[in-house]
Chains A and B, each alone.
Chain A
């Protein structure tokens, strides 16, 4: 791409391998892959990066994110090789936020050291819960002890920016169980926390269990109660909510995540990886074999390719921007809508009447009710 100029880019690398698949997971990941496939895959990712067409140097990468799957489930050397390729190919800023997702039970000190040496300065740990019984119930392979050991290992190696993922709305969970998880997480001195409500997706073991009536999900009232309570707890402990599911110490917001909500550009490498650049969204194919094959033959095949028109851009801007607690700036909205804001404000006023959004002269943001019913707001904004 010749015309990437003066741009900040995010890079996303997908590592689709796991030790085992969790019961709720419908993302692109494979358990028990053999070393040969992992090797072929990582080499393909490196080739995909190196093949990326850019002749200009007037741009820079300010965030790199290795997600999965479980990036820490494969040899750290592969991660290092991919990072090396990135640094070779792209202009990476000095202060770039470089994150790797890891799972407890897949990390040891030497691995963490290698990550550090490869340039990672942020780690996102998939802990989900500190309740051993619950972890088993949702198909996680680690326990509470291993989770804490993992955090300690990272601290020991001087990782300052540690985030964890926690889940709530877990089967059989009550408020006090959920808050125990939050309290435990906060006691570990983290800079960032993502707090996700379990959603049963099709084609997952949980979905089948639910169909058979073996899995009872919590009533919406309880689920929202947990969410609202958790927000309060985190607020009291200095964790600032900056997006529906994300909390951090001020200044430690995830740059990479914010790119998604701010419609900033990113490139994805690896199987099923999504890219957003020059108002185009596209994604690689979803099967590992096919992906490897395509890269080896230098074939570009997309599982998705969309070019956004003005109406779509505006809608995206609204539904992504409003996920942030600060909401959207009216000035930006005017620019995006090219002055045609009459109808949008009409909708916003009716949403305000329903108590779903708050507006002042500068910003529009979701209320707590608006966050709980955000899909409803986004659907209203579609016209």
Chain B
């Protein structure tokens, strides 16, 4: 039995975004002969359109490879995918907890980036053996020797024999496979002990119910077993276990060291959360695998149908998305301006954008999202504390003693020439400088404490543009801090539009209010009357712009009796009008709601 585990390697690939993680995965699959090149869709692991478009992984794909190594033995290599963005740190840590090792892909031209480090630290937290690989050596700007030194200096990993590869060109892929076999330890764990299986991903299948992707750490599990989820205490009877070969291939049983899937007619993903430990109902394990966390939403926003009739369709769509995404939360709410909709909670701004786009693309819904918000702690004069994330629910200022806002610890890695620009940005976003570390002669890591509500307003976009794309960011919640916050309201034609309200720091209110009214002035079409657009704190107007009255909306002649063209133009105009939200007597285009999402303070 010991023999069996000697020929298993469980590993992840970790990398900074765009350093070639998915391409390497493709090559490993191809090299081990699992799929021929023709059968393989480009980047098989990122199979959601949106993922491919953004070059990031959202849902995990796990795959079992069989590799005949140079020592003549056949090895089972379980490649466990990890999502590639700061919003999904917890998911990454659970995937890594299912492994004994990680292949660290570093771009031969760009070297170590913030997420490289963040992922390495996560891997080290799990005591993984890290196998560095230097990718993109085919690039003219590749400098593999320098990168090796950088890995040794900055991370402290032995890198002199790191495989030098080009995943894109298929160069030296075998070196990676050999390194996996030689360097990553085989799994340990007692097949005969009480079952401990880590859930590192789950999704809903309409036939099988929730399918959990698991790593068996101890013991074994087979069809017919009664299992229990150690965090939720729910029990189920196992219907099927199998391996991911790829695709689901049922097997007799999964034992310590194995990676595979398990189906047990579980109806709700909430009962099978990532990070939970599965054990046997009889002879249960005494302790769960450490590290389980119930993920909490950090960013909230309202999601409303552009067309009021779509309310139920949005609910259906959110329910469907939630089935595979336990970190998405939502509850119905009502807005004066937008009618009935949902308040949704997300892991971060990227998660928000992904959900928003999936609602639009996969479910063909026309939605309006309100300004994102975070959770504030409101300490009232009567000594009680309430948590609010919808600005509309903020108690009146007279009831409030003080307010707290969430603060994140942000690590920004950047070439040193941009330090000034980044410090200015962080300063501008109320950041507190912690310290700066030199990674090498040209690059530094800046550590800042930043209010999360400053990060969720296009911080990342501005950071990228100020550093020409070179800086990278990761952040984690560090705690709450008292802060002078106010509610900023926007009035259109003297009517308060609750969907635009936001909580901002007192010192930023004027600037933000001004920015928003200026932008709204440009996106709200002219009407027959003059429309004032105002920003206000309480009853005090802090900024005002005016949309002038429309003077002209007329078509020129029609040549040769082409009435159809004229009609089409009018129909288009009508369509545009239909997509607008009527607030009082003003038609507000959806674009207007985006202007508060993307506040730009370059100027």
Contact = CB atoms under 8 A, between A and B. Distances in A.
A266 B551 CA distance: 34
Interface stretch (A171-179, A267-275, A333-341): A267-275
Contacts of B571: 382
A67 B551 contact: no
B573 A375 contact: yes
A199 B553 contact: no
Interface in A309-340: 315-316, 319-320
Nearest to B559: A27
Contacts of B573: 375, 379
Interface in B526-584: 528, 550-564, 566-567, 569-571, 573-574, 577
Contact of B567 (A199, A316, A373): A316
Interface stretch (A80-88, A108-116, A148-156, A216-224): A216-224
A210 interface: no
A263 B251 CA distance: 75
Contacts of B569: 375
**Size bracket of the A interface:** 35 or more
B559 to A, nearest CB: 5
Contacts of A78: none
A354 B585 CA distance: 13
A197 B559 CA distance: 14
A274 B564 CA distance: 9
A334 B530 CA distance: 36
A130 interface: no
Given A316-B563, A373-B528, A375-B573, A260 B558 contact: yes
Given A276-B561, A378-B570, A220 B554 contact: no
Given A281-B563, A281-B564, A316-B563, A372 B557 contact: no
A374 interface: yes
B554 A194 contact: no
**Size bracket of the B interface:** 20 to 34
A372 B561 contact: no
Nearest to A219: B551
B74 to A, nearest CB: 62
Interface string A197-228: 10100000000000000000000110110000
A220 B526 CA distance: 11
Q: Provide the main secondary structure of the chain A interface.
A: mixed
Given A379-B573, A379-B577, A373 B564 contact: no
A375 B553 contact: yes
Given A260-B563, A281-B563, A304-B564, A375 B554 contact: yes
Contacts of B574: 379, 382
B554 A272 contact: no
Contact of A194 (B557, B561, B566, B570): B557
Given A319-B570, A378-B570, A373 B561 contact: no
B560 A268 contact: yes
A196 interface: yes
Given A319-B570, A382-B574, A276 B556 contact: no
Interface string A23-52: 000010000000000000000000000000
A245 interface: yes
A371 B551 CA distance: 10
Interface string B204-240: 0000000000000000000000000000000000000
Give the residue among B550, B559, B560, B574 with the most A Cβ atoms within 10 A. Answer: B560
A12 interface: yes
A274 B570 contact: no
A239 B560 CA distance: 24
A185 B551 CA distance: 27
B570 A375 contact: yes
Contacts of A275: 561
A374 B555 contact: yes
Contacts of A371: 554
9 contacts: A65-B560, A268-B561, A273-B560, A274-B561, A319-B567, A372-B553, A373-B554, A379-B573, A379-B574
Given A196-B556, A259-B561, 17 more contacts: A199-B556, A245-B557, A260-B558, A268-B560, A272-B560, A274-B564, A276-B563, A283-B564, A319-B566, A319-B567, A371-B554, A372-B554, A373-B528, A373-B554, A375-B570, A375-B573, A379-B574
Interface of B: 528, 550-564, 566-567, 569-571, 573-574, 577
Lowest 8 A-B CB distances belong to which pairs?
Answer: A220-B551, A220-B552, A375-B553, A274-B561, A373-B553, A199-B556, A379-B574, A274-B562
